[in-house]
Structure formats: C-alpha cells, structure tokens
A and B are shown apart, each in its own frame.
Chain A
C-alpha cells in the first residue's frame, strides 16, 4: 500500500501536531502544514499524524486502490 497524503490549507490551523508525529513528512510554512515527503516517515506515524490533526485537515488515500483511509468516509 502506498499513501498519498494531502493537507487542506483552508482547514489547517497550524497546530503542528502532524509535524510532532511525522516530522519528515510535514513541515510548517506560514502557519500552514505542507507535505514535504510522501514517504518521509513510516505509515503508522503518518496515519497517526492525520488522526491527530485537530481539524481533520490531512487526507490519506491508498494510491493503489484509491480508497480514502483518513478521514474515514
């Protein structure tokens, strides 16, 4: 399984929880999180980072199946 990770800039409030958990995947720029490396951290950390986002701004999709893994639909 290969993750595709994206951040909804309009939802992001710059809480930086994703950076605390997956610092090689995300970085903060102008108070908004960005994805800097789709494979920067292990997938457990990336999923936890998405789950920890207080506004649900991080979306994770399985690139192979297209299934949205987070937020759960």
Chain B
C-alpha cells in the first residue's frame, strides 16, 4: 500500500446536499496525482497549529487528480468549521492516503455487505463505485445506510441507478426516525440486519460510530459470521 504523503490541493467545488451533509471537491496541485484505495481517508490540516482531522474519501479511486469528501456538518467541530469557511480556490493541505479499511482483491469473500451510518457511507460510496464500475465485480454487493431522517439522504438517485445498472447491487437505506409513508427499512441498521438473510461467506465492511460498529459486530457474530470477515472503520 502506498505510503501517505503531503498534498496541497485547491478547493474546487462544494455542494450543500442538505442541512446535514455537504460534498466537497479538491483538485490536487502538488503532487497532482493520488493513488488511493476505496475506503481510505486523508488527514486535512485544519489550523496553523497543525491540528488535523480525518475524512474518508468518497470519490472514485479511478479519478486520480482530485479527491471528494462528504462532510457531516452536525458536530460543528474545528474541522467542520474550517471546511465550511473555505473559499473556492483556496489551498488546503492534507496527508494521505491512509487506512486499511479496504476491500482486498482476491479475498475469499463470496459477497460483500457494506454497513454505514451517517457520514460512514462516504468510504462505502467509494467502494461501491470501485467494485461495480472499475473492477466489474459480479459478487452480490449490499449496502445498508442508517440515518435518522429521509431528508438527510444523499446519493439516492445514484444508488438507485447503480441498482438498475448492476443487478448484483442492492441498497437498503434505513431510517430511525422515518415518516409514516417510508416503506423501506426502519429503525437502526441492526434491526434491518437482524431480519434479513445474510449471504453465506460474505465479507462485512462497517463504517460509523463506535456503538454501531460494536452492535453490528455482535449481531453478526451471534448470527454465525466469522469475526475475521468483519472489517471496520470507526468514526468517533
């Protein structure tokens, strides 16, 4: 795996998806190419004291001249404030790519189950596009994404389009505070995983808060999944 290095990049584009999520795009300046694996993250310098914050890359690893991240603006910590105050065209500094939360080529996993909550969907988005589009992966790939409200969902059209284009891909958005008319999964992702059939010999990739990771791991192990097949990235 590539050793992380320092990059400078230009803040190229921003899209405020909704009150919770904002999508940011950075074009690399120096070096101007990056070789990352889907699921990895970068560490962005967010003040002059050298404080850094980690953000998963949500973009297609095939695009090597820039990176995109999905920002959860709820916490309003030092990193969010820095990124929200960036002006288009400004330069940022980050270190990366980092992280071992990746789908290994050749792993003995007959299907993939990706489980994310909140902005934990970001690395999974990168993984899905990489497996389906770049690697032509024909294994069943199921994405569970847990959120509170339907109003916070993003990339729905994209996920739906992928599900139509790639019959091996399924998407299960799961809402814990769903409106009456919501007809898909309700509750936490564990509620959904508890009642769904689990594919045999699957690899599980979990990304989100520590409590979710712990709960899902316990559920999967209780349902007979080999702990070695459970991979995770904890956001705090």
Mark A residues whose CB is within 8 Å of B: 13-17, 20-21, 47-48, 51-52, 54-55, 70, 72
Q: Would you give the shortest CB distance from A46 to chain B, in whole angstroms?
A: 13
- Verify if B27 is at the interface (C-beta below 8 Å from A): no
A21-B4, A52-B43 known; A16+B51 contact, CB < 8 A: no
Enumerate chain B interface residues (CB-CB to A < 8 A): 3-4, 41, 43, 45, 49-54, 95, 98-100, 210, 233-236
Q: CB distance A51 to B51 under 8 Å?
A: yes
Given contacts A14-B234, A51-B45, 12 further A-B contacts (CB under 8 A): A13-B210, A15-B234, A17-B41, A17-B99, A20-B99, A47-B50, A48-B95, A51-B50, A52-B95, A54-B43, A54-B236, A72-B49
User: A-B pairs with the 8 shortest C-beta distances?
Assistant: A54-B54, A52-B43, A20-B98, A13-B234, A17-B98, A20-B4, A51-B50, A51-B52
If A21-B4, A52-B43, A55-B236 touch, does A16 touch B54 (CB 8 Å cutoff)? no
**SS of B interface (majority):** strand
Question: Inside 8 A of A51's CB, which chain B residues have their CB?
Answer: 43, 45, 50-52
B210 touches A17 (CB 8 A): no
Query: Could you say which residues of chain B place their CB within 8 Å of the CB of A16?
Result: 98-100
Jot down 19 A-B pairs with beta carbons below 8 A, ordered by A: A15-B98, A15-B99, A15-B234, A16-B98, A16-B100, A17-B41, A17-B99, A21-B4, A21-B95, A21-B98, A48-B95, A51-B43, A51-B45, A51-B50, A51-B52, A52-B43, A52-B54, A54-B236, A70-B50
